[in-house]
Amino acid sequence: MLRTHTCGELRISDVNKTVTLSGWVQVVRDKGGIIYVDLRDRYGITQLILNENSTDANAISTARTLSREFVIQATGEVVERIAKNDKIETGDIEIKVTSLEVLNPAKLPPFLIQDETDGGDDIRMKYRYLDLRRSAVRQNLQLRHKMAQQTRIYMDAQDFIEVETPVLIKSTPEGARDFVVPSRMNPGEFYALPQSPQTFKQLLMVGGFDRYYQIVKCFRDEDLRADRQPEFTQIDCEMSFVEQEDILNMFEGLIRHLFKTVKNIDMPEVPRMTYADAMRLYGNDKPDTRFGMEFVELTDLAKGKDFPVFDSAELVVAINAKGCAEYTRKQIDELTEWMKRPQIGAKGLIYVRYNADGTLKSSVDKFYSEEDLKAWAERCGAEKGDLILIVSGEANKARKQMSELRLEMGTRLGLRNPQEFKALWVLDFPLLEYGEEEDRWFAMHHPFTSPKPEDIPLLETNLGAVRANAYDMVINGTEVGGGSVRIFQRPLQQKMFEVLGFTDEEAKKQFGFLMDAFEFGAPPHAGIAFGFDRLCSIFGGADSIRDFIAFPKNNSGRDMMIDSPSTIDAKQMDELKIKTTV
Amino acid sequence: MLRTHTCGELRISDVNKTVTLSGWVQVVRDKGGIIYVDLRDRYGITQLILNENSTDANAISTARTLSREFVIQATGEVVERIAKNDKIETGDIEIKVTSLEVLNPAKLPPFLIQDETDGGDDIRMKYRYLDLRRSAVRQNLQLRHKMAQQTRIYMDAQDFIEVETPVLIKSTPEGARDFVVPSRMNPGEFYALPQSPQTFKQLLMVGGFDRYYQIVKCFRDEDLRADRQPEFTQIDCEMSFVEQEDILNMFEGLIRHLFKTVKNIDMPEVPRMTYADAMRLYGNDKPDTRFGMEFVELTDLAKGKDFPVFDSAELVVAINAKGCAEYTRKQIDELTEWMKRPQIGAKGLIYVRYNADGTLKSSVDKFYSEEDLKAWAERCGAEKGDLILIVSGEANKARKQMSELRLEMGTRLGLRNPQEFKALWVLDFPLLEYGEEEDRWFAMHHPFTSPKPEDIPLLETNLGAVRANAYDMVINGTEVGGGSVRIFQRPLQQKMFEVLGFTDEEAKKQFGFLMDAFEFGAPPHAGIAFGFDRLCSIFGGADSIRDFIAFPKNNSGRDMMIDSPSTIDAKQMDELKIKTTV
């Protein structure tokens, strides 16, 4: 071993030991013949000291060639430091160097390797191996490792078996776009990379595995939004002989176990809310419940007073911004403009100010008496000093707009602390959603999701009203996981494909193996999958999943470091019997 | 939950409890009005009992509809069995059923779901979900799960961090054929699936991760031999600031930990052997050391006696088959024919029989005196009753042929017990091997393997003589893992690419990022990767890795169950800007 100890290991009790350390030069200082080297590795930083009057001359001259990020090996004696450094764990000691060797010199890095770096996103991605040396990045990946460890500890203790499912599978038209892989041995045919191991985990249940999980890479060829990656990781789980309630309990247990073991947080029982309530109260199927500011519907109170905007609205909905009555006209105008941006698309924003002196002032005073406004305020639970913000229009649109406003106000009021964690189950999602453009119904979750038994008759009469036995876990306004009770009987699965517009032949070609399997003794089963990258970023109190992935891709799906994707040889394409048509 | 207990859980102490079980019907017997149902799940089998005189009539009529593999739910009372079954853990009790429900009926399975099945390979692959119900298959996958668990326990305890490396990477010409993935966002360009995370783990070392591991899927588009899979799993590891010795100790530790925890076997220290010795003594770089039968070279003794075959041979090599002197002429002829098959290609097989009476008899008595044969026997350590088998010719060829014979004799003599385990390190592999066809040198391990420092000058003079700091772990004659100390300095890496026939430009285009990284402070590092599928099959005492993979592919790379690969839509190809040329 090129070291006897790591750079994070030595303490005052090691004084007088002769040790060898290896690592990177963090910084070198030469002060009047005394040379200090901060030597860094994954485990910490230890100070080396050389004195031109007493240290071996070779070591001194080597030390004078050092600069940032050189890889060196130093041998010497552990001595107590005079000026102790209580910021680092090795701060009580230093190493009086007797010999020093450069294992590998280093060019000047293109950005500073420290917590506050001067490197922009692009340069840090190109030199990701240098970015990984920054302790902030390394800590994120260590957190990820710990999350995976603790996930496995919990799942193993619950008798789940981790099973690896294939990566080279079959392309299916439902869902997002597949990445495909041409098969050389089967010319003209392609594998697809899995968007999830969905059918395989269901087949494991048919195979009697009872409890399955896997921490597994999945792939989606989507146009990348800021915080999506073409390859991502799921905690994928499935159980047999269970009902929705069993899944909720089991995986609430997982999340609480993770909070306890990774963050030392005692997460209380996870509250539950129906999709319908989440939409009504937050305009959002993944509400951020770190703060209240629930929607209050004023439609009945607001109509009939000759204010055309409200009179023509399907919904008039308000939130109460506590303590914001002192917002200036300018602030409110700015908020109104913010709401009118194309991303949100509100026509305007109505306010009612509940002044400290008890008077009420609104932007619609022309149409509503103070009495009217008081009734609104009362329904909103507003008090003196509060500001009521109101949006109206077509119900779904108004809710969506109001949801954005609520989140923005939460942020502005400092109610969304990334180190506070609020989890929520959202239940009873609609089974289907209508695609205007394609003029057909789509599975909201996926085609294997079971309708609620009592809603099955609605499959014949009112597709939009069918609720699914589906559930999402939401933490701090982000969906971290979702799943469903599955269909496990062939006739219902066939019905579902029919509803989704598959011909019999298509359904058979794509999912025949699964429907066949359902005829050979498929148990009732249900499952869930958590977005592991996202879960890690939330635990890390960060916004971006990219910081929790060792080698992420950029928004065009490029790995800047290895410069991939890239062209391939004509010979490779010949062998695969494909051609590009660019 | 659709059950209160599993089918493997109830014991005599549970008598009188009312329980609900769910599972599969293993078998139903109706004996004079008493109906017995063996109910099976992952955990075991429990007997249900119904009596047409006393059990609820609905339950009785339901029971009479049951057949194999129906999924049912039964409620009843745990009672002590009169005729106990000590072959199953629940054999002391049975369930006196009070109600019975069919959760899902089942068609007759296409093969028997029991340890000794009547299903051939193809049908079992097509209905893999049924094959998975057989306890032999499930136990293999449970073993695999345990192997992965224990690997992680060991690696975590040694401060390794599991880091996920990307699956969508860059195609490189060196090594086996890549699977490629067309990029829609970067038309005309392709990702490749990793043959191993080699460069990424080295970059993690440059990034200061110090100790990395990952249980990870890898991909090779090779023509599949009987026991290869296009996707396979590795335990992939890398360490910084280490030398070969550190790696050998660390991963010998892993293997011993696995044997102890998974098989309860105390594996002794793993012996070490150079590549040169392995070739000399076993004609094989992965010798099966469960038995001796080492090669004995007789060249000097055998030459010069006018036997033209030996006189013209570069090598005359023997093994001593203990106790085989009684082999009949017919048996020896059969063995000779076996050696002459094209797969082995020996010209013939010479034998010397050391008879029980002390006389020696050979197939070359015309040329050699009994004195001569005695000298051979002595060198071979042969005793009365032994049979010496001799092969000659060009040295490498003769060794290869003899290696096959040795393994065959080991099998015939019952010396290769799959439940006995002998591990071995093979060291000091050649760095390079010459490809006749391509008329150039290839990296025997891969281009990142470091030559032994003392052999670096030979890179200028004698490429074939350069030894690598590379090592393989062999168990029972199978390579289960291999690795090397890596090059970590740009000039040597550049030299290596030059030796392999890369132009400067090619080297830069393919591996520029790695060589750049070596200039920013790369630590000395080394690593290893274990073939996880293979390791599991050896621990399971089985020959085929396919039995240890949940959803394997066949020899044409097809998944028979989901029928993949398959054609894709023209629309998908248009979006990807590719065309097939079949």
Give the end-to-end CA distance of chain A in Å, rounded to a whole number: 52
Give the CATH number of the domain where residue B394 resides: 3.30.1360.30
Domain tally for chain B? 4
Chain B residues lying within 8 Å of A173, measured CB to CB: 569
Tell me whether residues A161 and B145 touch, CB distance under 8 A: yes
Whole-angstrom distance, CA of residue B179 vs CA of residue B222: 9
Contact A427, A273 (CB under 8 A): yes
Whether pLDDT at A269 is above 90: yes
Token match 């219902």: residue? A492
**Residue at A234 is within a domain:** yes
Distance from CA of B419 to the nearest CA of A (A): 25
Q: Which residue of A has its CA nearest to B181?
A: A181
Strands (E), A312-465: 315-321, 350-354, 360-362, 387-393, 423-427, 432-435, 440-443
Whether pLDDT at B225 is above 80: no
**Residue at A59 is within a domain:** yes
Whether pLDDT at B98 is above 80: yes
Tell me whether residues B550 and A165 touch, CB distance under 8 A: yes
Tell me whether residues B569 and A200 touch, CB distance under 8 A: no
Whether pLDDT at B564 is above 80: yes
Distance from CA of B183 to the nearest CA of A (A): 7
- pLDDT band per the 50, 70, 90 thresholds, residue B227: confident
Pick the closest to residue A471 from A201, A303, A318, A286 (CA basis).
Answer: A286
Binding residue numbers of A:
174, 220-222, 229, 445, 479, 486, 531-534
**Residue at A120 is within a domain:** no
DSSP one-letter code for B92: T
Q: pLDDT value at position A225?
A: 73
Residue type, B309: V
Chain B residues lying within 8 Å of A23, measured CB to CB: 241
CB atoms within 10 A of CB B309: 16
DSSP one-letter code for B566: B
Let me know whether A519 and A541 are in one domain: no
| The token pair that represents B423 in the structure block | 């591990």
- pLDDT band per the 50, 70, 90 thresholds, residue B482: very high
Pick the closest to residue A556 from A231, A232, A233, A230 (CA basis).
Answer: A230
Contact A481, A517 (CB under 8 A): no
Pick the closest to residue B69 from A523, A489, A209 (CA basis).
Answer: A523
Q: pLDDT value at position B497?
A: 94
Chain B residues lying within 8 Å of A229, measured CB to CB: none
Whole-angstrom distance, CA of residue A311 vs CA of residue B188: 56
Say which of B142, B186, B520 has its CB closest to residue A556: B186
Whole-angstrom distance, CA of residue A325 vs CA of residue A387: 5
Say which of B152, B163, B559 has its CB closest to residue A166: B559
Q: Which residue of B has its CA nearest to A159?
A: B43
For residues A245-273, average pLDDT: 98
Q: In this structure, what is the dihedral angle of CA atoms A193, B162, A201, A196, given to the nearest 10 degrees?
A: -30
Whole-angstrom distance, CA of residue B41 vs CA of residue A252: 26
- Domain residues for B366? 293-412
Say which of A211, A221, A559 has its CB closest to residue B166: A559
**Residue at A114 is within a domain:** no
Let me know whether A402 and A432 are in one domain: no
Give the CATH number of the domain where residue A196 resides: 3.30.930.10
Chain A residues lying within 8 Å of B186, measured CB to CB: 556-558, 565
Q: Which of A377, A392, A412 is the last residue of a domain?
A: A412
Let me know whether A353 and A441 are in one domain: no
Residue type, A156: D
- pLDDT band per the 50, 70, 90 thresholds, residue B390: very high
Whether the bond between A565 and the residue before it is cis, its omega within 30 degrees of 0, is: yes
- pLDDT band per the 50, 70, 90 thresholds, residue A194: very high
Whole-angstrom distance, CA of residue B131 vs CA of residue B129: 6
Say which of B106, B561, B564 has its CB closest to residue A520: B106
Contact B29, B35 (CB under 8 A): yes
Let me know whether B146 and B254 are in one domain: yes
| The token pair that represents B184 in the structure block | 């829609």
Q: pLDDT value at position A157?
A: 98
Q: Which residue of A has its CA nearest to B126?
A: A513
**Residue at A435 is within a domain:** yes
Tell me whether residues B565 and A230 touch, CB distance under 8 A: no
For residues B366-387, average pLDDT: 96
Let me know whether A141 and A255 are in one domain: yes
Q: For residue B73, what are the CA distances in angstroms to A241, B43, B68, B95? A: 9, 16, 14, 12
Let me know whether A457 and A569 are in one domain: no
Let me know whether A141 and A82 are in one domain: no
Q: What is the pTM of this model?
A: 0.95
Contact A301, A379 (CB under 8 A): yes
Let me know whether A147 and A247 are in one domain: yes
CB atoms within 10 A of CB B510: 22
Q: Which of A564, A567, A569 to mutate to test the interface with B (most CBs of B within 10 A)?
A: A564
Whole-angstrom distance, CA of residue A216 vs CA of residue A249: 23
Let me know whether A166 and A264 are in one domain: yes
Residue type, A497: F
For residues A428-457, average pLDDT: 94
Whole-angstrom distance, CA of residue A124 vs CA of residue A533: 20
Tell me whether residues A221 and B521 touch, CB distance under 8 A: no
Pick the closest to residue A515 from B557, B569, B104, B120 (CA basis).
Answer: B104
Pick the closest to residue B217 from B549, B527, B494, B579 (CA basis).
Answer: B549
Tell me whether residues A166 and B231 touch, CB distance under 8 A: yes
Whole-angstrom distance, CA of residue B346 vs CA of residue B526: 40
Residues in chain B: 582
Task: Give B340's contacts (C-beta < 8 A, 6+ positions apart).
Answer: B346, B347, B348
Whether pLDDT at B443 is above 90: yes
Tell me whether residues B580 and A577 touch, CB distance under 8 A: yes
Pick the closest to residue B556 from B122, B21, B119 (CA basis).
Answer: B122
Cβ–Cβ pairs < 8 A, chains A and B:
366
Q: pLDDT value at position B55?
A: 96
Contact A246, B4 (CB under 8 A): no
Binding residue numbers of A for L-aspartate:
174, 220, 445, 486
Whether the bond between B523 and the residue before it is cis, its omega within 30 degrees of 0, is: no
Pick the closest to residue A486 from A517, A454, A455, A527 (CA basis).
Answer: A527
Q: pLDDT value at position B117?
A: 86
Distance from CA of A133 to the nearest CA of B (A): 5
Chain B residues lying within 8 Å of A581, measured CB to CB: 577-579
Contact B38, B97 (CB under 8 A): no
For residues B76-87, average pLDDT: 96
Whether pLDDT at B172 is above 90: no
Pick the closest to residue A298 from A388, A179, A415 (CA basis).
Answer: A388
Q: pLDDT value at position A176?
A: 86
Let me know whether A391 and A305 are in one domain: yes
Binding residue numbers of B:
174, 220-222, 229, 445, 479, 486, 531-534
Contact B95, B46 (CB under 8 A): yes
Give the end-to-end CA distance of chain B in Å, rounded to a whole number: 52
For residues B471-493, average pLDDT: 97
Pick the closest to residue A96 from A56, A138, A144 (CA basis).
Answer: A56
Contact B153, A153 (CB under 8 A): no
- The angle that helices B504-518 and B198-206 make with each other, rounded to 10 degrees, is 40
The phi, psi pair for A158, rounded to 5°, reads -95, 15
Whether pLDDT at B174 is above 80: no
Say which of B188, B211, B521 has its CB closest to residue A567: B188
Token match 């911004």: residue? A321
Tell me whether residues A156 and B149 touch, CB distance under 8 A: yes
Rg (CA), chain B: 30
pLDDT tens digits for range B122-134: 999 999 999 999 9
Say which of A152, A161, A210 has its CB closest to residue B141: A161
Contact A267, A494 (CB under 8 A): no
Token match 């989507």: residue? A222
Chain B residues lying within 8 Å of A559, measured CB to CB: 166, 168-170
**Residue at B128 is within a domain:** no
Contact A93, A78 (CB under 8 A): yes
- pLDDT band per the 50, 70, 90 thresholds, residue B518: very high
pLDDT tens digits for range B398-442: 999 999 999 999 999 999 999 999 999 999 999 999 998 889 999
Q: Which of B71, B152, B571 to mutate to test the interface with A (most CBs of A within 10 A)?
A: B71
Percent of chain B with pLDDT over 90: 94
Q: pLDDT value at position A223?
A: 86
Whether pLDDT at B175 is above 80: no
Let me know whether A509 and A533 are in one domain: no
Decide which of A175 and A187 is more confident.
A187
Whole-angstrom distance, CA of residue B400 vs CA of residue B410: 15
Whether pLDDT at A186 is above 80: yes
Whole-angstrom distance, CA of residue A259 vs CA of residue A265: 5
Q: pLDDT value at position B116?
A: 86
**Residue at B45 is within a domain:** yes
Give the CATH number of the domain where residue A61 resides: 2.40.50.140
- pLDDT band per the 50, 70, 90 thresholds, residue A117: confident
Q: pLDDT value at position A175?
A: 76
Mean pLDDT of chain B: 96
| The token pair that represents A325 in the structure block | 């009555």
**Residue at A109 is within a domain:** no
Whether the bond between B565 and the residue before it is cis, its omega within 30 degrees of 0, is: yes
Q: pLDDT value at position A100?
A: 98
Residue type, A316: V
The phi, psi pair for B13, rounded to 5°, reads -70, -10
Q: pLDDT value at position A363?
A: 94
Chain B residues lying within 8 Å of A204, measured CB to CB: 129, 132, 550
Chain A residues lying within 8 Å of B578, measured CB to CB: 182, 578-581
Whether pLDDT at B202 is above 80: yes
Whole-angstrom distance, CA of residue B504 vs CA of residue A366: 79
Let me know whether B503 and B533 are in one domain: no
Contact B420, B348 (CB under 8 A): no
Pick the closest to residue B390 from B364, B360, B351 (CA basis).
Answer: B351
Say which of B171, B241, B556 has its CB closest to residue A1: B241
Tell me whether residues A170 and B565 touch, CB distance under 8 A: yes
Q: Which of B389, B412, B435 is the last residue of a domain?
A: B412
Distance from CA of B151 to the nearest CA of A (A): 12
